[in-house]
Structure 1
Amino acid sequence: MARDLPIGNGNVLVNFDTHYNLRDMYFPYVGQENQALDHLSHFGVWTAEDFFWIDNPELKREAGYLNESLVTNVKCMHDRLGLGLLIRDGVDVQEDVFVRKVVVENRRNEERTVKLYFHLDLHLYGNGVGDTVYYDPELKSLVFYKGHRYLSLSCSAGGGKEAGVSSFAIGQKEMNHLQGTWKDAEDGKLGRHPIAQGSVDGTIELELRIPGSGTAEAWFWIVFGKNAADIQRVEKEVRKVHPHTLLQRTYNHWLQWLAMDRHDLKLLEPDVALFYKRSLLIVRANTDNRGAIIAANDSDIMKFNKDTYSYMWPRDGALITHALDRSGYHALTKRFFQFCKKGLTSEGYLLHKYNPDGSPGSSWHPWIDVRGEKQLPIQEDETALVIYALWHHHKLARTLDEARDDYDHLVLPAADFMSKYQDASGLPLPSYDLWEERYGVHLFTVASVYAGLLAAANFADYFQDKARAVYYRDQAEKVKLAAEKYMYSESEKRFVRSLYWNYDKMTYEPDLTLDASMYAVFDFGLLPASDSRVAATMKAIREKLWIQTTVGGLGRYSNDYYHQVTKDISRVPGNPWFICTLWYAEYLIATAAGEQDLAPAMELIRWTMSHALPSGILAEQVHPFTGEPMSVSPLTWSHATFVKVVQEYLAKVKLFRHQKHGREDQSDEKLLEPMGG
């Protein structure tokens, strides 16, 4: 089930599913150690007439965010029981605390007793072995712990009343046919067992008296810590200042954070501007405070392959960082490059992917080839794009004078590796493609290596390292000439996706499969978007990869097997991906000759918005017949690509309007060039 409404502070990330059940709780890293492990934590309501959980189909829900923030705004209505709920959730920006405000509306004339139940099903350190939960009589809360992971679950009625549960239940689950303490809540009476260990869960109750046609306010919070002292300290602080203070400062923080974006969003329609801001917030929620930008934190994907997307892929991170840098979030993106500098191997390349703590992530790239000889288990574009994005980072942040350590310990080893990792023709040696499926020489990788080497040459120029500047620029030119010679098909009159080495014939053989990633030939600056060979390539991509259903959108490549739902590849070459559709929008923007030419790109921007969840969340891909989200949701790359395309759209609008009025644009906006600019 798709994840929705992510909220976080860079240490804690909380995800809900599309039924507004709490599903994922990451701590102490965004994307590492899911303390909930996709197990459903319930929220329920008891009245004398009936009981319901928050995902009950009889309950009408409108789920979204409070204005331009990472604070949820969920409106619920139960007509039969005459109850309304307004729920707001946030993760505090100063302390590691999840806060929930609940306003219960009594739509009947008589006073009523309503009980709210908050249940937690935790798997500390990502497993359910050896957990403990107990009732703390001083805090009047439940405390969960194992090793150096502690969580407390607390509540308070509104009006400044003392914190404390009205009742609780603690027990075991996932053994002896036990479902969990949430079942105990359905009759409105909890067992109050004081402690349990093993595979455990806990539920707290908060009883409210609500006047006829009136409202009552309730607060719940979860404190995250590494020891009991952490819990005690933060619990004391929350009770001292009241949880409302935490939620308010969190809301204010995100408004101020968005105000740092340097683009003139008044040039956009309000709904597009709002979606742009929402995408920035989703990217931030999936970024760890120590620099790892996580691809996706939807633990539901584990059912597919027993692994997740909760890793830092250097390529994804580089492209996402570029969008953030163009917005002006340089302090945040600086941490990403420090992360990469620490992860760089002694040989000068970056590995497949990394855990949020900086350790190597899981991988399926082998260290030997089909003949049993050593090969590097890498995607070379990941190394190249980090160097390219780093150049833009320092250029946009105006921090080149501070870049010496980055040059010495990241740029030079990576550029030396890319310069040596070439064959006699000038093509990069084989590595895995960006889709992580094929080992060969790929147009996307070739374009990124060209861009990375030019970036290294630019750094060398700045630091007066003249010999290296000439060398790296020469190496980049060799890559470009080789790409034009060997990766352009005269018979097809377009570029090819890849070259694969044939050991029997001892030569490269071209892969003519159309692939949306071939857009990189212009976006990374290998050739201008106006080049006729680029135009022919992009025209073929649009004609052959557009989904011929009412859903539309661009697939990755012809006969894409990943989450494939039909073999009718003439109509559905693959599922529509947001990034692929937006890449084509980038091309339309790059080739637009006037403002009227931007209309087709805006159509694709709006296509993206129309296939998001109601909250504005973008998945990786959508079902080609229903438009429902598929694979992980949200995908950070999807949101960052939306941000980048809108940035390029705005830059082109400003350019055309300045030209129309006969003015030269001398603003900082000129620095916000496309990746290939």
Structure 2
Amino acid sequence: MARDLPIGNGNVLMNFDVHYNVRDIYFPYVGQENQALDHLSHFGVWTAEDFFWIDHPELKKQSGYLNDTLITNVACTHERLGLKLQLRDGVDVQENVFMRKVVVENDWDREREVKLYFHLDLHLYGNGMGDTVYYDPELKSLVFYKGHRYMSLSGRGQDQKEVGITSYATGQKEMNRLEGTWRDAEDGRLGGNPIAQGSVDGTVELVLRVPAKGAKEAWFWICFAREDRELRKLERTVRSATPQALLQRTYNYWGQWLGHDRHDLKLLEPDMASFYKRSLLVVRTNTDNRGAILAANDSDILKFARDTYSYMWPRDGALIAHALDRSGYHALTKRFFQFCKRGLSEDGYLLHKYNPDGSVGSSWHPWVNARGEKQLAIQEDETALVLFALWHHHRQARTLDEARDDYDNLVLPAADFMARYTDASGLPLPSHDLWEERYGVHLFTVASVYAGLLAAADFAEHFGDKLRAMHYRDKAASVKQAVEHSLYSEQEQRFIRSLYWNDEKQAYEPDLTLDASMYAIFDFGMFEPDDPRVVSTMKAIREQLWVQTEVGGLARYSNDYYHQVTKDVAKVPGNPWFICTLWYAEYVIAVAKSEAELKEAAELLRWTMSHALPSGILAEQVHPFSGEPMSVSPLTWSHATFVKVVQEYLAKLKLFRHRERGQEDQSDAKLLHAAGEKR
């Protein structure tokens, strides 16, 4: 089930499912230690007439965010019971506290007692063994703990003179046919068991007296800490400041944070501008405060692979950081590059992926080939793109004079690795492709290496390191020459995806499969977008990878097997991916010579928006027939790509409108740079 409405502060991340059940609770790192582990935490309402959980089909919901913030705004209506609920959730921007405001509206003409139930099913440290939950009489809250992980579940109703829940239940689950304490709530009476250990859960109650045709509000909050003393300090902070004040400052903060984006969104339609802002906010929720930019944090993927996307892939992170840098969030991206610098191997390359705490993540890339010889278990584009993005980071942040340590300890070892990891022709030696499926020499990888070497040369020139600058530029030129010779097919009249080494022939064999990632040849600056070879390549991608259903969108490559829905590859070469569709939009923008020629790009941006969840959340891919989200949701890369393509769309739009007005006082280059265009 797709994740929706993520909220967080860089230490805490909470995801809901499409029914607004809490599913993922990450702390103390975004993406590491899912304290909920995809187990459903319930929220329910009792009246004398009936009881319902928030995912009951009778409860009609409109889910979204409050304006352009990371505060949710969920309106619920239960017509038969004459109740309306408004829920607003947020994670405080200063403290590790989740807050929920609930407004209960009574449509009937008599006063009613309404009981609210908040249930937590936790698996501290990401497992359900040895947890404890108990009722704390001083806090009048439930406290969950194990080791150095503490969480409290607290609340207060509008009529209460003091903070505290009105009833509670603790118990065991996932054993002896025990479902959990949430079942105890359905009759409106919690058992009051004061403590439980092992695989446990807990439920709290707040009682409201809601007047006829009136409304009452209640508050719940969860504090996150590493020890009991810290937890109690947080509880005192929430109670003295009030959860209302914390939610308000969080609302204010995200509005101010978006104000740092340096693009003129007035040129966009309001809904596209809002979607752009939403994408920036979603990217932020999946960015840990210590620098890791996580690919996705949807634990539902565990059902398929018993692993998650909650890792920092240097490639994803670099391209996401690049979009953030173009927006002006340099302080945030600086932490990412510091993370990469710490993770660089002694030989100068970055590994497959990393955990949010900086340790090496799981991998399926072998360190030995079929002949028993050592091979590097890397995707070389991940190293190259970090250098590419780092150069633009310092240039856009105007911090090149402060980049000496980055140059010495990240740029030089990585660039030297790329310079020597080549064959006699200049091609990079084999590594795994960006889709993590094939080992060879890949066009996307080669284009990224070209860009990374040029970035290293630019750094070297800035620091007066002339010999290295010449060396890296020469290597980049050799890479480009090798691409023209080996990765372009005269027969197909386009570039090709990959080369694979054939031991028997002692030569590379070409892979002619069309792949959307081949867009990299222009995006990373190896060839101009209007180069006839690029034009023919992108034309073939558009014609043969477009999904021929009502859904549309661009597939990754021909006969994509990942989450494959149909074998009718002529009609559906693969499921539509947001990043692939947006890559083609980026090409349309790059070659546009007038505002009219931007129309197709605008339509592709709107295709992206129309296939998001109602809240504006983008998955990795969508079902080719239903348009429903598939794989993980949200995918950070999808949102960052939307941000970058909108930035480039704005750059061209602004340029064309200046030309129409005859404003010749600014050069095209200045206009493009002002709008965030990298070329």
Interval of TM-score (by shorter of Structure 1 and Structure 2): over 0.9
Distance in 2 (CA, whole Å) between partners of 1:153 and 1:587 is 50
TM superposition shift of 1:670? 1.2
> 1:589·1:648 contact (CA, 8 Å) conserved in 2?
yes
TM superposition shift of 1:160? 7.3
1:183 aligned residue: 183
1:640 aligned residue: 640
Distance in 2 (CA, whole Å) between partners of 1:384 and 1:673 is 21
TM superposition shift of 1:230? 1.0
1:82 aligned residue: 82
Distance in 1 (CA, whole Å) between partners of 2:634 and 2:357 is 21
> 1:551·1:624 contact (CA, 8 Å) conserved in 2?
yes
- Runs (4+) off by over 4 Å: 666-669, 671-675
> 2:585·2:604 contact (CA, 8 Å) conserved in 1?
yes
SS of corresponding position for 1:75: strand
2:591 aligned residue: 591
Distance in 1 (CA, whole Å) between partners of 2:225 and 2:537 is 53
> 1:582·1:605 contact (CA, 8 Å) conserved in 2?
yes
Distance in 1 (CA, whole Å) between partners of 2:326 and 2:498 is 31
> 1:169·1:202 contact (CA, 8 Å) conserved in 2?
yes
1:136 aligned residue: 136
Distance in 2 (CA, whole Å) between partners of 1:343 and 1:70 is 30
> 2:158·2:208 contact (CA, 8 Å) conserved in 1?
no
1:369 aligns to 2:369 (yes or no): yes
* Residue deviations 1:470-515 (CA, integer Å, cap 9, x gap): 0000000000000011000000000000000001100000000000
Distance in 2 (CA, whole Å) between partners of 1:238 and 1:528 is 56
The equivalences for 1:481-630 within 5 A come to 481-630=481-630
* Residue deviations 1:505-548 (CA, integer Å, cap 9, x gap): 00000000000000000000010000000000000000000000
1:670 aligned residue: 673
TM superposition shift of 1:656? 1.1
* Residue deviations 1:257-304 (CA, integer Å, cap 9, x gap): 000000000000000000000000000000000000000000000111
- Note the residue ranges of structure 1 that are not aligned, 5 or more in a row: none
TM superposition shift of 1:564? 0.2
1:115 aligned residue: 115
1:193 aligns to 2:193 (yes or no): yes
Distance in 1 (CA, whole Å) between partners of 2:544 and 2:136 is 63
SS of corresponding position for 1:464: coil
2:44 aligned residue: 44
1:461 aligns to 2:435 (yes or no): no
Which amino acid counterpart does residue 673 of structure 2 have in structure 1? K
2:348 aligned residue: 348
Distance in 1 (CA, whole Å) between partners of 2:529 and 2:52 is 57
SS of corresponding position for 1:499: strand
TM superposition shift of 1:659? 2.0
1:250 aligned residue: 250
**Sequence identity, in percent?**
75
Distance in 1 (CA, whole Å) between partners of 2:112 and 2:17 is 30
Which amino acid counterpart does residue 328 of structure 2 have in structure 1? G
> 2:655·2:672 contact (CA, 8 Å) conserved in 1?
no
2:96 aligned residue: 96
SS of corresponding position for 1:213: coil
Which amino acid counterpart does residue 277 of structure 1 have in structure 2? K
Distance in 1 (CA, whole Å) between partners of 2:671 and 2:611 is 33
* Residue deviations 1:401-441 (CA, integer Å, cap 9, x gap): 00000000000000000000000000000000000000000
SS of corresponding position for 1:221: strand
Distance in 1 (CA, whole Å) between partners of 2:244 and 2:671 is 39
* Residue deviations 1:156-199 (CA, integer Å, cap 9, x gap): 01267321011000000000000000000000000000000000
Distance in 2 (CA, whole Å) between partners of 1:670 and 1:332 is 21
> 1:523·1:674 contact (CA, 8 Å) conserved in 2?
no
Distance in 2 (CA, whole Å) between partners of 1:207 and 1:158 is 9
Greater shift in the superposed pair: 296-305 or 662-671: 662-671
Distance in 2 (CA, whole Å) between partners of 1:161 and 1:341 is 53
TM superposition shift of 1:657? 1.6
> 2:41·2:119 contact (CA, 8 Å) conserved in 1?
yes
2:448 aligned residue: 448
1:326 aligned residue: 326
Distance in 2 (CA, whole Å) between partners of 1:120 and 1:11 is 19
Distance in 2 (CA, whole Å) between partners of 1:160 and 1:653 is 56
SS of corresponding position for 1:509: strand
Distance in 2 (CA, whole Å) between partners of 1:97 and 1:176 is 33
TM superposition shift of 1:672? 5.4
2:296 aligned residue: 296
* Residue deviations 1:319-340 (CA, integer Å, cap 9, x gap): 0000000000000000000000
TM superposition shift of 1:669? 5.2
> 1:62·1:74 contact (CA, 8 Å) conserved in 2?
yes
TM-score between the two structures when normalised by the length of structure 1: 0.99
Which amino acid counterpart does residue 434 of structure 2 have in structure 1? L
1:222 aligned residue: 222
2:105 aligned residue: 105
C-alpha change, 1:668 and 1:491, in structure 2 (3 Å) is closer
SS of corresponding position for 1:204: strand
Which amino acid counterpart does residue 291 of structure 2 have in structure 1? G
* Residue deviations 1:365-417 (CA, integer Å, cap 9, x gap): 00001101000000000000000000000000000000000000000000000
> 1:160·1:242 contact (CA, 8 Å) conserved in 2?
no
C-alpha change, 1:83 and 1:450, in structure 2 (3 Å) is same
> 2:388·2:455 contact (CA, 8 Å) conserved in 1?
yes
> 2:651·2:677 contact (CA, 8 Å) conserved in 1?
no
SS of corresponding position for 2:542: helix
- Note the residue ranges of structure 2 that are not aligned, 5 or more in a row: none
TM superposition shift of 1:668? 7.2
C-alpha change, 1:554 and 1:324, in structure 2 (3 Å) is same
Distance in 2 (CA, whole Å) between partners of 1:26 and 1:441 is 37
C-alpha change, 1:537 and 1:673, in structure 2 (3 Å) is farther
> 1:586·1:601 contact (CA, 8 Å) conserved in 2?
yes
TM superposition shift of 1:361? 0.3
1:4 aligns to 2:4 (yes or no): yes
